[in-house]
Structure 1
Amino acid sequence: MNKLSMDPTPRLVNGSSAAPATLLLAHGAGAAMDSPFMTAMASGLAEVGWRVVRFEFSYMAKQRISGKRSPPDRMPKLKQVFLEQVESEAALRPVIIGGKSMGGRVASLLADELSAKMNVLGCICLGYPFHPLGKPQQLRTEHLAVQKTPTLILQGERDGMGRQDEVETYTLSPMVSLQWMPAGDHSFKPTRNSGLTETENWTAAVTHSSNFCKRLLSS
């Protein structure tokens, strides 16, 4: 099931309301909640038994209507929209928050606060933007060094916002686990000579995410 919500914040819902937990996923800076990547993650996770809710930040919802590209909202507004979505879901069942790139970053910044006061079990980052493209010195890892909430980061080995050889030098909390997508870029697309396909890496990402959620529920 893929149901579009008509709430002020646009949402897409996949999976059964009887699922043991909801994965609340936000999109990245440049692509909407119904991008091929987000659709593959949501549908794949729903197929293996999870309820998945995708939502759009204000700037992307406006962009969908106007057709004109605009920069992301500032972080306080992004966090507020995410928080409102968590509040609407956490009263119903356990929630795992996360998202693609910027969406995952926002989730990771909120994770400790929300896990302390709401039914939020963990965080999944699908391609974390460890630094802006071409600016490896501008790290976005300060909070990840002290993260208390179980956090899974799925990262392409050749991600331009954090390659494996770069990320392995960073100081990250023991609560942050990394799973490398072979030969993958920021959206896990592998090189042609790797022998892998984009679909295979996306399927693997669904499997890793689902297994992480199962561990959260069983702990």
Structure 2
Amino acid sequence: MDDIAGVVHRPDGRPQGVVALTHGAGGSREAPLLQAICEEWARRGWVAVRYNLPYRRRRPKGPPPRSAAVADLAGIVEAVAAVRTLADGPVIAGGHSYGGRLTSMATSEGLTLDLLTLFSYPLHPPGKPERARTEHLPNISVPTVFTHGTADPFGSIDELRPAAALIPAPTTIVEVTGARHDLASKKIDVPRAAVDAALELLG
């Protein structure tokens, strides 16, 4: 996984499938949320990989430049191809905020997955609902789980519901009451709830 700057979480026994997750605009593969989610997937019997996007491999801190999206999309395709080699079974990918949005864009452009899992999907910049980031959602044809805080400034639950409905495949919204964009919660085990929803949607 060195070629994609990925950290692998392996389950005990034979894996049921693989999961590839990446970070938000200001984060990295070391984000506590990604670590906790990957640990949960491994406990459930899946190989889970948290990886850095290309812009983060180039510099350790700061948001992605506007010119980064093309390379980051290619990096997501590369990462999913790499994790496919780790185990047979279903392939799940996604990420937090920017990383999830770009993974959804890659999926809308033909990246083959069995399920998409998006954490704090950034529906629009804070305070700018007119700048919706939903134009590609109708082109996603795989089941999708949205895990979203009810106090997220990048989009409310009421805004998320019609956005999720644009996807012509089964979708689930995991509401994290009171959580903001970082999905921190003292009341809900967010990784467990997200993985439960994903496994249920996979059937």
Q: 1:179 to 1:122 in 2, by over 3 A?
A: same
Query: In the alignment, what sits opposite 2:5?
Result: 10
Q: CA deviation at 1:207?
A: 2.9
Structure 2 letter corresponding to 1:84? E
Query: In the alignment, what sits opposite 2:24?
Result: 28
Distance 1:215 1:138 in 2: 30
- Computed over aligned residues only, the root mean square deviation of the Cα atoms, in angstroms, reads 2.1
The unaligned stretches of length 5 or more in structure 1 are 191-196
CA contact (8 A) 2:76 2:103 kept: yes
1:145-202 alpha-carbon deviations (Å, 9 max, x no partner): 3421111111111111111233345452252332211111112235xxxxxx1xx43x
TM-score by length of 2: 0.86
TM-score by length of 1: 0.80
Instruction: Flag as ranges the 4+ runs of structure 1 deviating above 4 A.
Output: none
- 2:190 maps to 1:204: yes
Distance 1:95 1:174 in 2: 19
- 2:144 maps to 1:147: no
Q: 1:54 to 1:166 in 2, by over 3 A?
A: same
| Bigger radius of gyration among the two | 1
| Alignment match of 1:182 (pick from 154, 177, 182) | 177
Query: In the alignment, what sits opposite 1:41?
Result: 37
Query: In the alignment, what sits opposite 1:90?
Result: 84
Give the 3-state SS of the residue equivalent to 2:140 in structure 1: coil
Task: Kindly indicate whether structure 1 or structure 2 has the higher relative contact order, using CA contacts under 8 Å at least 6 residues apart.
Answer: 2
Distance 1:188 1:102 in 2: 14
The unaligned stretches of length 5 or more in structure 2 are none
Q: CA deviation at 1:78?
A: 0.8
How many residues align? The count is 196
CA contact (8 A) 1:147 1:173 kept: yes
CA contact (8 A) 1:45 1:210 kept: no
CA contact (8 A) 2:117 2:146 kept: yes
1:40-87 alpha-carbon deviations (Å, 9 max, x no partner): 2111222222211011012212323xxx53534522111101111111
Distance 1:69 1:114 in 2: 27
Aligned residues: percent identity?
A: 28
Distance 2:139 2:75 in 1: 24
